[in-house]
Copies of this chain bind each other. A is one copy, B any other.
Amino acid sequence: MTIPLRDTTTAPRRCTHDYQVSCSNCRLGTICLPLALEADAIDQLDEIIQRGRPLQKGDHLYRESDDFKSVFAVRSGSFKAYRTTDDGREQVTGFYFPGEVMGMDGIAKNSHACSAKALETAAVCEIPFNSLSDLSVKMPTLQRHFFQLMSREITEDQQLITLLSKNTAEERIAALMLSISSRNARRKLSATNFRLPMSRIDIGNYLGLTVETVSRVFSRLQKLEVLQVSNKEIEILDLKALQDVANVIIETE
């Protein structure tokens, strides 16, 4: 499960490990770029992607206001994206798991709008944006897919907005657990048993709650036998109930 790499802060550019894979044989398949592309197209994409950047827990992939050069697809491990507010506080804007693409917020101003930090040992595919643009011009399908990827990021942000704007602490936590569950399922991992890579602090920050509230909600959901929580290990005991909690039950009429 964990990556067979460690301690390679200065990663050797090419070695024979599994991160050497190409897009065509990547086990993440079509998750990262939902490409129903011809083999030829995949090869071209493959050309521009730079692999082999293992990061340790706590390492930054990029920082806010860094020059924007590339977007990144997570290959293994996980990341949090966050921005620093005017008054110095941190706002977590998203968590990223294998197959998901980060950094598109940097396109607007040619500098990253948020920082990305590894929550555990992690590896990414770096996709230089200029090359991607150029290739998109030649390959309308790729352009379309990338538009879709960005659009999806927009709709996901809007879902979070709704969550923050309308939902209670329990609903927010339940929604996050369900989100992580389904993203796991997409990668053929267990939808009911998983380990949270992020701290309670990050969860609270992301969901607009304090750590204490997050902790209390977990305790409550455990008491209700909806979740089994043991530190970062989560087991969904009652999926239906969890969905009910998330869905806002309110049936006034």
Q: Which residues of A contact B (CB under 8 A)?
A: 83, 85-87, 89, 91, 93, 104-109, 113-114, 133-134, 136-137, 140, 143-144, 146-155, 157-158, 160-162, 164-166, 205-208, 247-248, 250
Contact = CB atoms under 8 A, between A and B. Distances in A.
B164 A208 contact: yes
Number of copies of this chain in the oligomer? 2
A89 B165 CA distance: 12
Contacts of A144: 133
Contact of A158 (B113, B133, B134, B147): B113
A113 B143 CA distance: 20
A114 B155 CA distance: 9
Contact of A247 (B86, B149, B205, B208): B86
Contact of A161 (B86, B134, B149, B164): B164
- 8 smallest A-B Cβ distances: which pairs? A165-B208, A107-B151, A108-B151, A157-B157, A164-B164, A108-B152, A91-B162, A150-B150
A242 to B, nearest CB: 14
